Amino acid sequence: MPFKRLFAVFAFLATVVIGTGAQAFAEPYRIVGFGDSLMAGYQLGPGESFPEKLQAALTAKGLDVEVIGAGVSGDTTSGGLARLDWSVPDGTDLVILELGANDMLRGIAPDLTEKNLDSMLARLRDRNIGVLLAGMLAAPNLGPDYAQAFNGLYDRLAQKYDVPLYPFFLDGVAGERSLVQSDGMHPTAEGIDIMVERMLPTVEKVIDASSGNG
């Protein structure tokens, strides 16, 4: 009898250890913020970039996530396409794809921007990596024709690839002098807070859906 009781105790402990070990080594949900200076945290301090603050906000919600920043200041969609494969590691669950602002500021033809983003979406789909497409809006000084062609490309691509679209990455910040730096374009740390707060529900929905909870 003592031996049987001892065996039962060992069996119980083994179950607990195995279960605990499985939880301890469970992989976090991996997000890559892939974009330009808006994603890179231009002129911001440690912990103030969008990926870092999104990580903190999701962790505060109790989610086991890892948000990796892959923003390059000055990047266009052509530059993003060239570095996509090595910038997004295997095992990534979601890419927040934020590119196009520099194309717009340089007056690059919207059809080229759309073609590059299309190629990126196709490559990520082929790798079974989810995408949250972050849109951008054209500056008014570029004229209505350019704005119509540029602003509509994000919705077209989101529908084509059936991916969620966050219509305007700078929502709540663009045009607010207290939330942008002296250049009038890049968000301050407070601006990043607003951006994260506004995008957070969308990111949570994407995580829930991909985890089978949505």
Is 90 assigned a catalytic role?
no
Is 186 assigned a catalytic role?
yes
Is 78 assigned a catalytic role?
no
Which one is catalytic: 49, 103, 186, 193? 186
120 touches 81 (CB < 8 A): yes
105 CB-near residues (< 8 Å, 6+ apart): 139
Rounded-to-integer distance, Cα 35 and Cα 171, Å: 16
Which one is catalytic: 36, 37, 49, 103? 37
158 φ, ψ (degrees, to nearest 5): -60, -40
**Residue 22 has which token pair?**
């499985």
Terminal Cα-to-Cα distance of the chain (whole angstroms): 50
Helix (H) or strand (E) holding 118: helix 110-126
Active site residues: 37, 183, 186
